Structure formats: structure tokens, C-alpha cells
């Protein structure tokens, strides 16, 4: 009888420990997923959606959200260089393809 009681106590203790380990792993996975989601959101938040105006040989990019001037250049390479100078490489650029962006994209 005493052997049975000891076996039950050991079983309960082992079950409790196993449940704790499973919960720790689940929480760690949830934290990793949350970190991935935050990284994706930060990347999206760092993206500027731009509209293009062409005047002469220069392309001028303006934010679609705020109509704020972003950058200018004669070609995509110059625009990327100027964008990196202004935002220190922290912004992604999405340009709407329309009649004004011909020759740039």
C-alpha cells in the first residue's frame, strides 16, 4: 500500500514538472512569434509609399500618406543614394507605377 502511495506522489510530481516544461516551451515559442511579428511591422512601418512627379530630367518623390517631399534624382540609383543619405538606410521605398514613373522604374 505504501508503495502505491509513493508511486502516486512521484507520478504527480513528475506530471507537474512535465507540465511546467511544456508551458515554458510554449511561452518561449509565443515570445519568438511576437518578436517576428514586431520585426515585420517595423519593416512595414519603415516603408514609404511614394508618388512620382517628373519635371525636366528630375524625378521628385512625395509621400502618398502626407504629401511630404521625400527625395529627388535623375534615375533610380541617384534616388536610392539620396534616400540612404536622408534616412540613413532605415526606410524602404515603394513607388506607385503610373505615367509619371515611366523612365524611373
Averaged over successive runs of 10 residues, the pLDDT of the chain (105 residues) comes to 89 93 92 80 69 86 85 87 78 70 63
> What's 93's DSSP letter?
E
Q: Which residues are within 8 A (CB) of 86 and not within 5 positions of it... i.e. 6 or more apart? A: 70, 71
Q: What is the pLDDT of residue 103?
A: 63
For the chain, the distance separating the N- and C-terminal CA atoms, rounded to the nearest angstrom, is 82
pLDDT of residue 39: 72
Per-residue pLDDT at 89: 63
pLDDT number for residue 41: 67
pTM above 0.75, yes or no: no
Pairwise CA distance, residues 6 & 54, whole Å: 83
What is the C-alpha to C-alpha distance for residues 99 and 54, in angstroms, rounded to an integer? Answer: 10
Amino acid at each position: 500500500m505504501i508503495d502505491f502511495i509513493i508511486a502516486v506522489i512521484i507520478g504527480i510530481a513528475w506530471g507537474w514538472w512535465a507540465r511546467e516544461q511544456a508551458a515554458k516551451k510554449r511561452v518561449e515559442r509565443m515570445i519568438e512569434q511576437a518578436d517576428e511579428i514586431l520585426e515585420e511591422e517595423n519593416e512595414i512601418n519603415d516603408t514609404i509609399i511614394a508618388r512620382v512627379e517628373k519635371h525636366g530630367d528630375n524625378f521628385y518623390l512625395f509621400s502618398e500618406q502626407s504629401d511630404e517631399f521625400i527625395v529627388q534624382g535623375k534615375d533610380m540609383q541617384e534616388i536610392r543614394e539620396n534616400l540612404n543619405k536622408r534616412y540613413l538606410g532605415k526606410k524602404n521605398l515603394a513607388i506607385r507605377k503610373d505615367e509619371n514613373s515611366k523612365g524611373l522604374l
